[in-house]
Amino acid sequence: MRMMKNLIGIVAVGFLLLGLTACETTSPKGMHVHPKVGLNTLTKLFEQKVTDDDLGGSSHRAADSMIKKAGARLDTQRSIAAASFVNIDDLSESSSFGRIVSQQLASRLSSHGFQIIEMLLRKSVYIQQQAGEFLLSRELKNISKEHNVQAAIVGTYAVGKNSVYVTAKIVDSASSIVIASHDYELALGPNTRSLLLAE
pLDDT in tens, 37-84: 454 554 454 445 889 999 999 999 999 999 999 999 999 999 999 988
Angle, vertex CA 122, rays to CA 120 and CA 126, nearest 5: 95
Provide the number of structural domains found in the chain: 2
Q: Are residues 78 and 98 in the same domain?
A: yes
Q: Are residues 144 and 100 in the same domain?
A: yes
Q: Are residues 60 and 151 in the same domain?
A: yes
Q: Nearest Cα to 137, choosing from 84, 180, 100, 95?
A: 84
β-partners of residue 116 are 80
Task: Give the residue with greater pLDDT, 176 vs 180.
Answer: 180
Q: Are residues 24 and 63 in the same domain?
A: no
Residue 156 CA from chain centroid, whole number: 10
For residues 35 and 131, give the distance between their C-alpha atoms in angstroms, rounded to a whole number.
53
β-partners of residue 159 are 164
pTM for the full predicted model: 0.70
Q: Are residues 71 and 34 in the same domain?
A: no
Contact 8, 16 (CB under 8 A): no
Q: Are strands 86-87 and 149-159 parallel, antiparallel or unpaired?
A: parallel
Q: Are residues 81 and 111 in the same domain?
A: yes
Q: Are residues 31 and 76 in the same domain?
A: no
Domain hosting residue 161, numbered range? 55-197
Angle, vertex CA 150, rays to CA 144 and CA 154, nearest 5: 75
Please return the burial class of 26, using the count of CB atoms within 10 Å of its CB with bins 0-12, 13-18 and 19+: exposed
pLDDT band of residue 15 (cuts 50, 70, 90) is very low
Q: Are residues 18 and 77 in the same domain?
A: no
Q: Which of 12-16, 18-22, 80-84 has the highest mean pLDDT?
A: 80-84
Q: Calculate the alpha carbon distances from 62 to 57, 69, 198 in Å.
A: 9, 11, 23
Backbone angles phi, psi at 183, to 5 degrees: -105, 135
* Three-class secondary structure of residue 85 per DSSP: coil
Q: Are residues 154 and 190 in the same domain?
A: yes
